[in-house]
Chain A
């Protein structure tokens, strides 16, 4: 009985290596995009000359255990270097090179970056950070990676699935994300009134141009509200179903993907919905991969690829090619082992592809053939065929520079990634992951208490650990109910008390600026930020060539209250919150209005 339960538990929390590999690729892609998007606001959010000086960050946001490597300098160039380092780590994660280490580096740098500007953190940032954290406990590089291609001991894995503390933690994280997000939605708008979808779609600051399409479904809003709520609350629990687990997983993946696509279509939530979609990739059942394998490779001809076994860079190259073109049925052989292909290879300075039936191919033709057989890069083959002469010329260029390429590729080392021969380490990592997963559930339970208005206190060591490792989580999007009041900012440029120009401050589609404006519109939360923002605007406006002459800046907000469903008319209210003298020295502060 116990054994059966244990087996069922193991099956439920097992994840496929291939699913984990595509999850890794998706995660790295998201990280890459996230960093590129942040780069645009580098000086605004990550330098002392921007909105958040290091002193402000430490004064306003730091709690015990908080740390950030990005606080070592307020200079843009240093920040840029850190960004480049992080982009490199993301690139290595993408190709799966020294995967565990670069996952750790990516997570540490992301946490550091997030701590540098905590005020602009979004839900997506939190999910990304947690996913990277759990990724450190997962075998993400067993497939489609440089690590797998250059594995010194490519022992066949005993199963296509892995069960570990890491897989348990990741599965629980997905469940917690949705279930606690639902549990935090305690407002009547999600229950008695069923108007949450209506209110969410009226938050103009975050809705996309597609949102009005959803507004056409007004009569279905109550049902949609219930569907969203119960889908979040109950849907993910089916991942734990001991019966027909694969079918249940597919159902959950489909419904949650649909939910996130709708989120992405209707709201500017940054990368939040896309990160959630990437997370679902890790849950893809093995049966899908097995079916794909059958349908993709059954009809493909088997072939041998002969390479120069005395050329180390060539060997690495063909192993990488087989891995990344996904050609598991290719037989890689050193040409030196064959009395036929060895002379041919030397005569033509080329690798040789010999299908089981058909003509042999050399140089770019061989690469074109490999691409044709690839289940995902096949579309490149016609391009190469079209530019065959150029491709052959490039091939020869590469072939003639093998010593230089060898030098360049020395960092790509053959090494063993098999963790099967380190059982103690595996058990230790699993146990740590299980304990941390338990703590993650505890943190989510704690967020329920906070939502109820209680203020639970953690002991100092726990608080320190939570902050230092970024373990805190609270999935409070649209909770306890969606905002019913939107605030759009604007400013007056004034000279000697006379209005020279008026300007609305639009940050539509820029979720970090939207988040920033939430703090600005409620200056009582962090009063220092309003002053910084006003000064920042002064500097930016003074730089603009077509700005009218001004020496004063006045910030205001237009508050729009969303009327209840079936009511008409929005209530507007303009509120002046700050006035800044743009010619004053830093020490002379502006005033609240």
Chain B
């Protein structure tokens, strides 16, 4: 009556049961759904970004969020946002030939170049007025923030969430994973749109998240 352990059949049954349960749990889990694999916390508002003087309205007093951004503007935002003076210098501004000391963004460009956050092109050219793409803008922003050394598979996990992730240049993947992880990227309909030009609105969005994060966690992280 109490032959409880008819081992072979019960073993097979147990294995099948475990397999079934694992499949059931997994199928219900968010890993197989469209939910983002990470959820950054709430950002600050645009007013707070402006109040913090990270970006300023244009000459007409308007913000113009649809205006695209140049490399010089990006350098300015980065110097306003991050405490770059505290970071060690790795390059010399002498290598840049197309930005003169009387250029309006000279100081900002000098800082980002000497700290290795942005670099010039061939023949010492920085092209300060050149418009930047979203991939460049967010990647450089992440670079200034500090890129996490995520494992390659983790980076893939994070970027796979975006339907156009194949358009992301290989050099920018790691930095964009950090940017995405921190919520800096405004990716409507799960699209990063890496090849599109970066607008002031895009940057303000990134800054709002950065500011929110800074307020929430230690303001003296030195990140």
Query: Contact between A344 and B2 (Cβ–Cβ < 8 Å)?
Result: no
Residues of chain B lying within 8 A (CB to CB) of residue A344: 148, 181
For A361, give its contact among B39, B40, B151 (CB under 8 Å). B151
**How many positions in chain B have a CB within 8 Å of any CB in the partner chain?**
36
A394 to B29, CA, bound (A): 7
The chain B residue sitting closest to A49, CB to CB, is B1
- Most B-side CB within 10 Å, residue of A43, A340, A388, A400: A340
The chain A residue sitting closest to B3, CB to CB, is A40
Residues of chain A lying within 8 A (CB to CB) of residue B1: 43, 76
A36 to B7, CA, bound (A): 11
Q: A343-B182, A359-B151 are in contact. Are A39 and B26 (CB under 8 A)?
A: no
Flag whether B20 is at the interface (Cβ < 8 A).
no
Flag whether A348 is at the interface (Cβ < 8 A).
yes
Query: Contact between A393 and B29 (Cβ–Cβ < 8 Å)?
Result: yes
Flag whether B32 is at the interface (Cβ < 8 A).
yes
The chain A residue sitting closest to B213, CB to CB, is A343
The chain A residue sitting closest to B41, CB to CB, is A346
Query: Contact between A392 and B157 (Cβ–Cβ < 8 Å)?
Result: yes
- Most B-side CB within 10 Å, residue of A43, A346, A393: A393
Flag whether B4 is at the interface (Cβ < 8 A).
yes
Flag whether A461 is at the interface (Cβ < 8 A).
no
Flag whether B104 is at the interface (Cβ < 8 A).
no
Min CB distance, B174 to chain A, in Å? Answer: 10
- Most A-side CB within 10 Å, residue of B25, B32, B39, B151: B151
Query: Contact between B152 and A359 (Cβ–Cβ < 8 Å)?
Result: yes
Flag whether B34 is at the interface (Cβ < 8 A).
no
Query: Contact between B5 and A36 (Cβ–Cβ < 8 Å)?
Result: yes
The chain A residue sitting closest to B26, CB to CB, is A393
Residues of chain A lying within 8 A (CB to CB) of residue B157: 392
Min CB distance, B23 to chain A, in Å? Answer: 9
The chain A residue sitting closest to B6, CB to CB, is A40
Query: Contact between A347 and B41 (Cβ–Cβ < 8 Å)?
Result: yes
Min CB distance, B218 to chain A, in Å? Answer: 4
A80 to B221, CA, bound (A): 61
> Which residues in window 13-70 of B have CB below 8 A to A?
22, 25-26, 28-32, 37-41
Min CB distance, A52 to chain B, in Å? Answer: 15
For B37, give its contact among A80, A339, A342, A348 (CB under 8 Å). A348
A394 to B157, CA, bound (A): 15
Query: Contact between B2 and A43 (Cβ–Cβ < 8 Å)?
Result: yes
Residues of chain A lying within 8 A (CB to CB) of residue B30: 393, 396, 400
Flag whether A358 is at the interface (Cβ < 8 A).
yes
Contact with B along A54-85 (1 / 0, CB 8 A): 00000000000000000000001000100000
> Which residues in window 349-363 of A have CB below 8 A to B?
349, 358-362
Query: Contact between A347 and B40 (Cβ–Cβ < 8 Å)?
Result: yes
Flag whether A105 is at the interface (Cβ < 8 A).
no
Label chain B's interface by main secondary structure: loop
Query: Contact between A348 and B181 (Cβ–Cβ < 8 Å)?
Result: yes
Query: Contact between A347 and B221 (Cβ–Cβ < 8 Å)?
Result: no
Flag whether A42 is at the interface (Cβ < 8 A).
yes
Query: Contact between A40 and B4 (Cβ–Cβ < 8 Å)?
Result: yes
Q: A360-B151, A396-B31 are in contact. Are A339 and B221 (CB under 8 A)?
A: yes
Residues of chain B lying within 8 A (CB to CB) of residue A339: 217-218, 221, 223
Flag whether B149 is at the interface (Cβ < 8 A).
yes
A40 to B5, CA, bound (A): 7
Flag whether B154 is at the interface (Cβ < 8 A).
yes
Flag whether B153 is at the interface (Cβ < 8 A).
yes
Query: Contact between B148 and A360 (Cβ–Cβ < 8 Å)?
Result: yes
Query: Contact between A39 and B41 (Cβ–Cβ < 8 Å)?
Result: no
A91 to B28, CA, bound (A): 31
Query: Contact between B25 and A394 (Cβ–Cβ < 8 Å)?
Result: yes
Residues of chain B lying within 8 A (CB to CB) of residue A80: 2
Residues of chain A lying within 8 A (CB to CB) of residue B150: 359-360, 362
Flag whether A389 is at the interface (Cβ < 8 A).
yes
The chain A residue sitting closest to B30, CB to CB, is A396
Residues of chain B lying within 8 A (CB to CB) of residue A40: 2-5
Q: A344-B148, A389-B31, A396-B31 are in contact. Are A349 and B39 (CB under 8 A)?
A: yes
Residues of chain B lying within 8 A (CB to CB) of residue A349: 38-39
Min CB distance, B205 to chain A, in Å? Answer: 16
Residues of chain A lying within 8 A (CB to CB) of residue B128: none
Residues of chain A lying within 8 A (CB to CB) of residue B183: 347
Flag whether B216 is at the interface (Cβ < 8 A).
yes
A389 to B148, CA, bound (A): 22
Residues of chain B lying within 8 A (CB to CB) of residue A358: 149
Residues of chain A lying within 8 A (CB to CB) of residue B38: 347-349
Flag whether A485 is at the interface (Cβ < 8 A).
no
Query: Contact between A390 and B22 (Cβ–Cβ < 8 Å)?
Result: yes
Residues of chain B lying within 8 A (CB to CB) of residue A394: 22, 25-26, 29
Residues of chain A lying within 8 A (CB to CB) of residue B29: 393-394, 396-397
For B154, give its contact among A42, A365, A400 (CB under 8 Å). A365
A348 to B41, CA, bound (A): 10
Query: Contact between A397 and B25 (Cβ–Cβ < 8 Å)?
Result: yes
The chain B residue sitting closest to A37, CB to CB, is B5
> Which residues in window 138-158 of B have CB below 8 A to A?
146, 148-154, 157
Residues of chain A lying within 8 A (CB to CB) of residue B39: 347, 349
Residues of chain B lying within 8 A (CB to CB) of residue A362: 150-151, 154
A359 to B153, CA, bound (A): 11
Min CB distance, B8 to chain A, in Å? Answer: 14
A362 to B181, CA, bound (A): 12
The chain A residue sitting closest to B149, CB to CB, is A359
Residues of chain A lying within 8 A (CB to CB) of residue B41: 343, 346-347
A195 to B20, CA, bound (A): 58
Query: Contact between A343 and B216 (Cβ–Cβ < 8 Å)?
Result: yes
Residues of chain A lying within 8 A (CB to CB) of residue B22: 390, 394
> Which residues in window 105-135 of B have CB below 8 A to A?
none
Contact with B along A359-391 (1 / 0, CB 8 A): 111100100000000000000000000001110
Query: Contact between B154 and A347 (Cβ–Cβ < 8 Å)?
Result: no
A396 to B37, CA, bound (A): 9
Residues of chain B lying within 8 A (CB to CB) of residue A389: 31-32
Min CB distance, B18 to chain A, in Å? Answer: 12
A80 to B28, CA, bound (A): 36
For B223, give its contact among A39, A340, A361 (CB under 8 Å). A340
A400 to B39, CA, bound (A): 13
Residues of chain B lying within 8 A (CB to CB) of residue A392: 31, 157
A39 to B7, CA, bound (A): 12
Min CB distance, A199 to chain B, in Å? Answer: 34
> Which residues in window 28-60 of A have CB below 8 A to B?
36, 39-40, 42-43
Query: Contact between A390 and B26 (Cβ–Cβ < 8 Å)?
Result: yes
Residues of chain A lying within 8 A (CB to CB) of residue B213: 343
Query: Contact between B149 and A347 (Cβ–Cβ < 8 Å)?
Result: no
Residues of chain A lying within 8 A (CB to CB) of residue B32: 389, 393
Q: List 19 A-B contacts (CB under 8 A).
A: A40-B5, A42-B2, A42-B4, A76-B1, A340-B221, A343-B213, A347-B41, A347-B181, A347-B183, A348-B38, A348-B181, A349-B38, A359-B151, A359-B152, A360-B148, A361-B151, A362-B150, A393-B31, A393-B32
Q: What 7 additional pairs, Cβ within 8 angstroms, besides A40-B2, A390-B31?
A: A39-B5, A40-B4, A76-B2, A339-B218, A389-B32, A393-B26, A397-B29
Point out residues on B near A: beta carbons under 8 Å.
1-5, 22, 25-26, 28-32, 37-41, 146, 148-154, 157, 181-183, 213, 216-218, 221, 223
Identify the 3 closest CB pairs spanning chains A and B, nearest first: A393-B31, A393-B29, A339-B221
